[in-house]
Every structure is written in structure tokens, then in C-alpha cells.
Structure 1
């Protein structure tokens, strides 16, 4: 099953995506506002991709591809979803530099949120974003996300502490 938007197609991650994932995770621009953990080798990423558990209601990770060329350009997912709460956490990044700022991330978030609300019957989707990541915040606001809270000095990068912003979107608030 794939999910299709105006610019992107979302599909399950495949072992063949490992090289791109490794390259993206090595890109300092991609990792600037992400919690990256420790350096990993290509072999470790390949192994993780090969052993990846299937997507479920609670953990959904998808590859973002361009619609026209079917070129992998990023990753998006929903995690922590539970039917009892009707809520999930969103994570997304566009790894290919040529596709950042061109509406691909916006389209991917819109498509996945629509799926979350319509198919998964979620009531809310939340995310954390570093306050200085103004480009991402702009995208989220454009789609209808609102600031719900702030965690002060919760993210450290390059010897400096940054606030994290909690943003949320409820069913019926997604801007198409």
C-alpha cells in the first residue's frame, strides 16, 4: 500500500533504502535539529533495515518518494499511536538537499496526517520541534498545527541549549 499526495508518494521502508538513510543521517543539515544518537556504519543501517519490524498501528515508518521519479528523498512516521488515546507522534525529515523547501515535506506531512485521521481514526497528532527550526514551524503552522507548549532548554546542539516547542493538530484542523 502506498499513500499519494500532489508531490510525494509514501511507502514502506525497504532494505534498499539503507544507503540513502545512512547518507541522510550523515548530512549535518539533516541532523541539525534531530536527536541523532551515536554514529552508525552503513552495515549497521543495512542490518536495521533488514530486521525492521513490520509497520503497525503503533509504529509506522514510511519512505518519502517523489511522485514523478519515485526517488527516495526522506522519511516520515507516526509513533506511539494507541486506539484508547487516539493520538500519535509525528516525525519527518527530507534528506535530499535538492528537495528541501520545495513543498515535498509539506505534502508528505499532509498525506500522512490525512491517513492518520481518516484511516487510523486518530483524534490528534503531536510533534516536538526545536524553536529555532523556523522553517519546520512554518510548515506545521501552514498545515494547521498549533503550539501547545514549550520545554525550555531541552535540546543541546553545538554547546548551546534550545527550547523545544510542542505542536499539535486535531482531526478536522488539517489545512488542505
Structure 2
């Protein structure tokens, strides 16, 4: 397990999959904001659940997120699109509704950066999120990510095209994150993430 201040990232357990699938995948409106592929019904227990984990992969690392104090399942996190030649990857997080607004998102992003940079030896991490996803943007910025651009109306989300924001973080910026502007206490908006 890789530990942050409030959460830990660990391997996905079989018992996590039904919870993540039922709560996160079956929330169609929210899931359509997280995955560029169209949502379609997948029955419980299916090997096709996006939360089912197969063999280890060089191109993706899927984690379950647990609260350190209680060991309760908080959500899911991953590095995906890992490119070992260019030493880059994308990161994504999904927090269960009961755990949103407690400041876990920033900690999850920090720990994913530690995994990507310190464990995997990557040099760049990237986040793509909807422009109105203020909690994710705030969590990424707290970890030192910089907004690199906006892809206008690039994502089809539950009946409408919306803008996506691209954020990036380089390893040398992560190593100096204590010097990152805004590295002080969380704001009320960031805590909601």
C-alpha cells in the first residue's frame, strides 16, 4: 500500500468490485463524465466491469482507495495510458459519494503522483477533466499540476458537448512541490473535492 495523509492506495480486492461497480459505474450521468466511451449496462459480477482487474499491465495501474483510519473503501484511482518510452501517463480518480467533500481527492492525487514519479520513474503526468469539475481541478492544482489548455466542446457528456481542461505535472515540478504556489492549507472549495 502507498500511503498519503488520509488515504492509501492498494491493490483492488474482489470485495471492492461490486461496490465500485454498483455505486460508481451505475451512476450513468457521473460515469459519462469520466469515460469517453458510451455507458452501457454491465451486469454485476461481469468480468467486463471497468473495476474488474486482470493481470498486471505495463500500461495501466488500478488501485482501490481506502481511508487509513477506518480502512473503508473510498473509491478508485488509476494511472492509465502509461507510455514507458515517453515516460508519461494519465491519472484518474473516482470517489464514492459518501466520501466526497472530505478533502480526500487532493491526497489521492498526491499519492498517485508519488506512484507515477517515485515508483514508476515517469517524467510527466496528465489529467483530463471537464471544465466544470472544480474539485478535480483544485485537487490537481494542489498537487502542483498546471492548466495547459482547454479542449473546447471535446467531450460528449450525457446529451451535450462540454469543454475539457488538460493539466500537466512534470517530475521536476513534483520534486519541488513545496515551492508550488498555493501549497498552503486547503480552501473550502478544495475540501469539497
Same fold? TM cut 0.5? yes
- For Structure 1 versus Structure 2, the TM-score category normalised by the shorter chain is 0.7 to 0.9
Structure 2 equivalent of residue 145 of structure 1: 145
Structure 2 equivalent of residue 5 of structure 1: 4
Q: Does 1:67 align with 2:68?
A: yes
Structure 2 equivalent of residue 38 of structure 1: 40
2:15 is paired with a residue of what secondary structure? helix
In structure 2, do the counterparts of structure 1 residues 27 and 159 end up closer, same or farther at CA, with 3 Å as the change threshold?
closer
CA contact (8 A) 1:153 1:161 kept: yes
Structure 1 equivalent of residue 22 of structure 2: 23
Answer with 22-31 or 3-12: which moved more: 22-31
In structure 2, do the counterparts of structure 1 residues 33 and 47 end up closer, same or farther at CA, with 3 Å as the change threshold?
closer
Where do 5+ consecutive residues of structure 1 fail to align? none
CA contact (8 A) 1:9 1:65 kept: yes
CA contact (8 A) 1:15 1:49 kept: no
Structure 2 equivalent of residue 79 of structure 1: 80
Superposed displacement of residue 29, structure 1: 6.7
Superposed displacement of residue 121, structure 1: 0.7
CA contact (8 A) 1:18 1:46 kept: no
Superposed displacement of residue 160, structure 1: 2.0
**Which whole-Å CA distance do the structure 2 matches of 1:29 and 1:159 have between them?**
10
Where do 5+ consecutive residues of structure 2 fail to align? 179-193
2:76 is paired with a residue of what secondary structure? strand
Superposed displacement of residue 49, structure 1: 5.9
What CA RMSD, in Å, does the superposition of the two structures yield over aligned residues?
Answer: 2.1
Q: TM-score, normalised by structure 2?
A: 0.80
